[in-house]
């Protein structure tokens, strides 16, 4: 069995000691709604920021403006009330595929470079920290999205033998929002590809013919592990589609034995995590069961 571990925040200090991560001059790709399978991918996903120049960010912003007429095509497919701001940032699958190809050309990326719904493209990132240097060497961010590491941790990672990541320097601001000179931290960007995870029980994967999104067709408890036939061998990777940032057993052991100050913990993707993949009736059943935990007599119309 080849286990994968996702990374959760585990802040050890006072809440006011938590850093704030933000971008300057950024743009986000739209979400996607698929009428065929009902996949509603309108929210922020766990995907790495792509950094480029301000000129390229502006070119992407202008490209998105040219796609405004296509956003209205989504309206007629939506069966439930939806926030207008979400509707104005949602494309059909085929339009999103065309947009991604144009964005790759602007960014100078290969044709097979994965772009995600709600992908952030930014020219600059900064970190506001109450204390410099920080009390941590590895910080887990908000939820399951990314890692930020100190200069000592970045140096160790470069000689660790671990694969599937890039390190991007991030400018640091002090608690009064002043630039800290001659000091940076690093965003660890996950570039590995885990393919489709192997599940236990098996036999419930389905791929939509329109949006090509993988979904689990039955609502039940699943265990996830790496499928060696689809994984590219990286230690830092995402499973296809909805996967958060994941590491291998080798990477987990390296971090835990590194002596670095970890404000993260590693957990196997088990109960609840698979809900990201549920589609159609399975998603509706999961939603109904979750509501019944708080309202036992609730019934879906």
Give the per-residue SS3 of 149-181: ECHHHHHHHHCCCCCCEEEEEEEEECCCCCEEE
What pLDDT sits at residue 164? Answer: 94
What pLDDT sits at residue 82? Answer: 53
**Which neighbouring-strand residues pair with 235?**
none
What pLDDT sits at residue 120? Answer: 87
Same domain? For 30 and 116 the reply is yes
Indicate whether 17 pLDDT > 80: no
What pLDDT sits at residue 149? Answer: 93
Q: How many domains does the chain have?
A: 2
Indicate whether 277 pLDDT > 90: no
What pLDDT sits at residue 274? Answer: 65
Task: Report yes or no on 183 lying in a domain.
Answer: no
Mean pLDDT rounded to a whole number for the chain: 82
Tens of pLDDT, residues 111-122: 988 888 888 898
What pLDDT sits at residue 222? Answer: 79
What pLDDT sits at residue 16? Answer: 54
What pLDDT sits at residue 300? Answer: 55
Indicate whether 9 pLDDT > 60: yes
Residue 241: which pLDDT band, with cuts at 50, 70 and 90?
Answer: confident
Buried b (16+ CB within 10 A) or exposed e, 197-235: bbbeeeebeeebeebebbbbeebeebbbebeeeebeebb
Task: Report yes or no on 275 lying in a domain.
Answer: yes
Task: Report yes or no on 147 lying in a domain.
Answer: no
Task: Report yes or no on 151 lying in a domain.
Answer: no
Q: Above pLDDT 70, what percent of the chain?
A: 79
Q: Which of 105, 124, 143 is the last residue of a domain?
A: 124
Residues of the domain holding 209: 193-248+268-292
Q: Which of 100, 124, 148 is the last residue of a domain?
A: 124
Hey, is 147 helix, strand or coil?
A: strand
Indicate whether 245 pLDDT > 60: yes
Task: Report yes or no on 65 lying in a domain.
Answer: yes
What pLDDT sits at residue 87? Answer: 55
Lowest-confidence region among 14-18, 98-102, 193-197, 229-233: 14-18
What pLDDT sits at residue 54? Answer: 92
> In sequence order, which ranges of 159-279 are alpha helices (DSSP H)?
249-257
Residue pointed to by tokens 């390296």: 254
Indicate whether 67 pLDDT > 60: yes
Task: Report yes or no on 201 lying in a domain.
Answer: yes
CA distances, 212 to each of 36, 71, 114, 283 (Å):
10, 20, 13, 17
Query: Ranked by mean pLDDT, which of 29-33, 163-167, 193-197, 270-274 comes out on top?
Result: 163-167
- Asked if 115 and 29 count as a contact pair (C-beta separation under 8 A), the reply is yes
Q: Which of 104, 124, 144 is the last residue of a domain?
A: 124
For the entire predicted model, the pTM comes to 0.84
116 vs 19, residue with greater confidence: 116
pLDDT (mean) for 215-228:
84
Indicate whether 137 pLDDT > 80: yes
Residue 135: which pLDDT band, with cuts at 50, 70 and 90?
Answer: confident
Same domain? For 202 and 119 the reply is no
Residue 37: which pLDDT band, with cuts at 50, 70 and 90?
Answer: confident
User: Residues 40-44: contacts with CB within 8 Å, 24+ apart?
Assistant: 41/117, 41/118, 41/213, 42/86, 42/89, 42/90, 42/117, 42/118, 43/118, 44/118
**Which neighbouring-strand residues pair with 50?**
121
Query: Ranked by mean pLDDT, which of 72-76, 80-84, 93-97, 296-300 comes out on top?
Result: 93-97
Task: Report yes or no on 260 lying in a domain.
Answer: no
Tens of pLDDT, residues 253-273: 999 999 999 988 888 776 566
Residue 234: which pLDDT band, with cuts at 50, 70 and 90?
Answer: very high
CB proximity list for 89: less than 8 A, separation 6 or greater: 28, 30, 31, 42, 71
> In sequence order, which ranges of the chain are alpha helices (DSSP H)?
54-66, 68-71, 84-87, 93-107, 151-158, 249-257, 280-292
Other beta carbons within 10 Å of 254:
18
Indicate whether 81 pLDDT > 60: no
Task: Report yes or no on 254 lying in a domain.
Answer: no
């Amino acid at each position: 069995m080849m286990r994968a571990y996702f990374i959760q925040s585990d802040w050890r200090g006072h809440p006011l000691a938590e850093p704030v991560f933000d971008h300057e001059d950024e743009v986000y790709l739209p979400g996607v709604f698929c009428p065929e399978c009902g996949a509603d991918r309108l929210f922020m996903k766990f995907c790495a920021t792509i950094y480029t120049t301000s000129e390229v960010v502006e070119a992407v912003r202008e490209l998105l403006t040219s796609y405004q007429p296509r956003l209205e095509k989504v309206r007629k497919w939506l069966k439930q009330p939806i926030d207008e701001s979400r509707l104005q940032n949602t494309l059909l699958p085929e339009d999103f595929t065309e947009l991604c190809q144009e964005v790759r050309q602007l960014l100078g990326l290969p044709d097979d470079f994965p772009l995600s719904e709600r992908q952030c493209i930014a020219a600059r990132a900064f970190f506001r920290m109450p204390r410099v240097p920080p009390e941590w060497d590895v910080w887990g961010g908000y939820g399951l999205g990314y890692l930020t590491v100190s200069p000592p941790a970045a140096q160790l990672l470069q000689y660790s033998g671990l694969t599937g990541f890039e390190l991007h320097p991030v400018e640091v601001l002090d608690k009064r929002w002043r630039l800290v000179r001659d000091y940076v931290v690093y965003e660890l960007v996950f570039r590995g590809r885990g393919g489709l995870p192997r599940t236990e029980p098996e036999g419930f994967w389905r791929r939509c013919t329109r949006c090509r999104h993988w979904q689990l067709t039955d609502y039940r408890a699943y265990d996830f592990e790496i499928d060696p036939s689809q994984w590219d061998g990286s230690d830092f990777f995402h499973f296809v589609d909805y996967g958060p940032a994941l590491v291998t057993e080798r990477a987990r052991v390296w971090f835990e034995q590194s002596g670095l100050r970890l404000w993260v913990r590693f957990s196997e993707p088990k109960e609840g995590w698979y809900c990201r993949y549920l589609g159609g009736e399975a998603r509706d059943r999961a939603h109904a069961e979750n509501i019944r935990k708080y309202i036992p007599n609730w019934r879906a119309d």
